[in-house]
Amino acid sequence: MLKKEVEIRWHGRGGQGTITSANMLAEAAYHAGFRGVMSSPAFGAERRGAPVTASTRLAPKPLRCLSQVQFPDIVVIMDDSLVKTARAVDGMAKGGLVVINTCQTPQALGLNGHYRVATADATSIAERVGLIVSGTLMINTAMLGAVARASGLIDLPHIEMALKSIFSPRAAQKNFESARLTYEHTNCLSCMDEAI
């Protein structure tokens, strides 16, 4: 268990389950033993397909800060087109972690700063598992698997417990399969800029 608070900022598009992911991570972290867990969305004029953000804070003790994350330790990017347009890595802590849904290299995306990078093709995995709701591919639980693998904050059993507390047994099983497969196929890379 960590001795300090961890701040996570999520970037996605409306309809991808970004806010739900932030909530599920908080739930899974609570099952992992964190006693300070908080997630919150940042609402504006969001609509399906528009950029959205959410925050998750995890701490060993109850939290007092409820504001949005400005200087994240971890940034989760649900859609690689948001790397530049949403300025997703702004404020990133030195040595922090970027977890991104992509099949591209970090260098191809322009991710070559003072942080570590983990990539996962959550879209393909969610599609393979058949996580489609109302015609929309849901990658949120797949990305939970990537966050777990890359950060080590939670593990698969914690995700499974969180999913069982949120979804019906059948839906929980399908979502867990997506998280498990993404966990197994997350590439933990390091592209920290040597000059820093």
Q: What is the pLDDT of residues 12-46, one digit of tens each?
A: 998 888 999 999 999 999 999 999 999 888 766 65
Q: Are 152 and 99 in contact (CB under 8 A)?
A: no
* pLDDT of 195: 31
Q: How many helices (H) and strands (E) are present in the chain, helices listed first?
A: 6, 9
Residue 14's φ and ψ, nearest 5 degrees, are -55, 130
* pLDDT of 29: 96
Query: 114: which 2 tokens?
Result: 């003072």
Q: Are 89 and 97 in contact (CB under 8 A)?
A: no
Domain ranges of the chain: 6-190
Residue that the structure tokens 């890359």 belong to: 150
* pLDDT of 46: 59
* pLDDT of 176: 98
The arrangement of secondary structure in 6-190, i.e. its CATH architecture, is 3-Layer(aba) Sandwich (3.40)
Q: Are 93 and 137 in contact (CB under 8 A)?
A: no
Residue at 75: amino acid letter = V
Average pLDDT per block of 10 residues along the chain, 196 residues long: 83 90 96 92 72 91 79 94 85 92 91 90 96 89 97 96 96 97 91 37
